[in-house]
Amino acid sequence: MGSSVLPQTVSPALGQSQVAQRQVSAIEPITIDGRLDSSSTVLEQDGSYYNTHTFKGVEGQMVQIDLMSDEFDAYLVLQDPRGNWLIQDDDGGDNTNARVILTIPGSGTYTIMANSSVSGETGNYTITVQPTTAEAVAQAELLEEAASLNQQVIQLYQEGRYRAAIPLAERALELRETVLGENHSDVATSLNNLALLYESLSDYAVAEPLYQRSIQIGEITLGENHPSVAIRLNNLAFLYQVQGNYAAAEPLYQRAIQIWETALGETHPEVATTLNNLASLYQDQGNYADAEPLFQRSLQIRETVLGETHPDVANSLNNLALLYQDMGNYAAAEPLLQRSLQIRETVLGETHLDVATGLNNLASLYLHQGNYAAAEPLLRRSLAIWETALGDNHPNVAIGLNNLASLYRAQGNYAAAEPLLQRSLQIEETALGETHPEVATTLNNLALLYQDMGNY
C-alpha cells in the first residue's frame, strides 16, 4: 500500500496577488544502524522480522529515506504520526535496497519499519534519512502513480477483467521505465504482471518475451539466485506448461526449486509451492510415478511448517487428490478432497472462493463416478459462491456453468444444459476473447450437446 499522490500546486489566476509560501528548513541527516534477527519483532502477516525507528518530521520537508543491507532483501514501511502506513517500498533503491521519497504531510514523529521482503531473512542494515529535491519528489510521485495503477491491475486481475487491466499495467510499466530506467527491479515486476495478463488471455507470444525480460532484469539487479528470480522462473515455466512445452518448463521449475532451497532451506513453504508446480507438470505428462512423491513432499512440508489446518495444506490435499483421480484411484481421492474442503470452510469461511474451488473439485470426482445426486448440490453451491463474490460475468462463473451443464447432459437433461452452455460461452467470449481456448472448449461442449440431441 502506498500513499496517495500528493496534490499538484495550482498557479494563481491573473490579477490575484500571490501568497508567499512558508519556507521550511531541511531535515537534518540521520543515520541508523540495526540488525534483523530472532530478537526482532515478527510481522504477523508473513512471519518476517522487523525493527522500528523514529524521527521528527516537519510539514513540507522533502525527505529521502533509504534502507540498505548486503545481507537481506530490504523492505521499508513509513508510518505517519498516527501509526498509519504512509508509504512502502521493496526495491526502490539500488539492487535489493529500499527507498522512499516524499514531502512530509504533517509535523510529528514518523516511524520507519525496517523489514525484509522474504520471511526469515536476517542481517545488518543501515537507514539514512536526508533532505532531497523537488525534482526527486516529483519523480517519486510518478512512481506512486505507478504503484497505484499496479494495485488497480491486481484488483482487475482478481475480477477476471484482464483486458481492462492491460492499459493500466502498460502505463505503470511506462512510468517506471521513465523514472527508474529500463533495467530496474520494479520495471521487472511490471513486466511480470503484464505478462501474466497476456498469459491469462492465452496470448502466449506476447507474454513470453515479457517474462524473459523480467527474469533477465532480475538476474542483473538482484542476482541469479534471488527469490524474486525464482518466482519469475516459476511463472515462465507455467506459461510453457500450459502450451504443452514440457521440455522448456521442467528445467525452469527445477532451477526455481534449487534457488528456494538454497536461499530459504529445503522445508520452506516456497519450496513446497514449486514442488507442487513441478508435480503438476509431471501429472500433465501422465508421469504419475514422478508426480506423486513431489505432491506428497509438498504436503508434508506444509503440514509441518504451517500446521495441518492451514489453507496451503488444503491446496496440497486438493492437488494430491486430483492426481489420484487422474489415476482412477477414486477411493484415495475422495477423503483428501473432503478434508481439503473442510479446512477451507473452517479457516476461510463457507463463502470463500477457495471453498467454491473445493466444492467444484469434489463434485467433479462424483461426476466421474456417476454419482450425480451427490455432485449437483456441490456444483450449484460452487456456482453461487462465484457469482456472489466475482460477479455474474467472471470466467470462473463460466466454468461453473459448464460443469453444471455437463452434469445435466450426462443425465440426459438437455433442456437444462443448453442455456447454461450458451451463457458460459457468452461470458468467455466477452471476458477472454473469441479465440481463447476456453471458448473453444465450450463450443465443443455445446456441439456435443446438440449431437446428443440429434440436432446435427
The secondary element (H helix, E strand) that includes residue 340 is helix 330-348
pLDDT tens-place string over residues 352-411 = 999 999 999 999 999 999 999 999 999 999 999 999 988 999 999 999 999 999 999 999
pLDDT tens-place string over residues 4-43 = 222 222 222 333 333 334 467 889 999 999 999 999 999 9
Mean pLDDT along residues 308-323: 96
Look at the alpha carbons of 150, 57, 30, 134 in this order and tell me if their dihedral is positive or negative: positive
400 burial level (CB within 10 Å; 0-12, 13-18, 19+): buried
| CA dist., res. 408 & res. 403, Å (int) | 9
Mean pLDDT along residues 119-128: 93
Question: What are the two backbone dihedrals, phi and then psi, of residue 41, each rounded to the nearest 5 degrees?
Answer: -70, 145
Mean pLDDT along residues 215-237: 94
Distances (CA, A) of 241 to 93, 193, 238: 34, 18, 5
Nearest to 344 by CA among 383, 312, 300: 312
Mean pLDDT along residues 95-121: 91
Is-contact 379 357, C-beta < 8 A?
A: no
Mean pLDDT along residues 70-93: 90
pLDDT at 44: 86
pLDDT at 23: 60
Query: What cell does 140 get?
Result: 517519486
Query: For residue 357, is it left (φ>0), alpha (ψ between -120 and 50) or beta?
Result: alpha
**Class of the CATH domain delimited by 30-132:** mainly beta
pLDDT at 160: 83
What 3-state DSSP class applies to 181? coil
DSSP assigned state of 104: -
The more confidently predicted of residues 120 and 107 is: 107
| CA dist., res. 127 & res. 67, Å (int) | 5
Nearest to 208 by CA among 237, 246, 186: 237
Residues 6+ apart with CB under 8 A from 440: none
Question: What are the two backbone dihedrals, phi and then psi, of residue 87, each rounded to the nearest 5 degrees?
Answer: -160, 150
Which amino acid, residue 58? V
Beta bridge partner(s), residue 130: 64
pLDDT at 14: 30
pLDDT at 305: 93
Please check the confidence at residue 328 and state whether its pLDDT lies above 90.
yes
Outline which parts of the chain fall under CATH 1.25.40.10. Answer: 133-223
Which amino acid, residue 147? A
Outline which parts of the chain fall under CATH 2.60.120.380. Answer: 30-132
Beta bridge partner(s), residue 89: 76
Nearest to 3 by CA among 89, 75, 86, 59: 86
Is-contact 193 210, C-beta < 8 A?
A: no
- Mean of all residue pLDDT scores within the chain: 91
133-223, CATH topology level:
1.25.40
Query: What cell does 234 get?
Result: 516459476
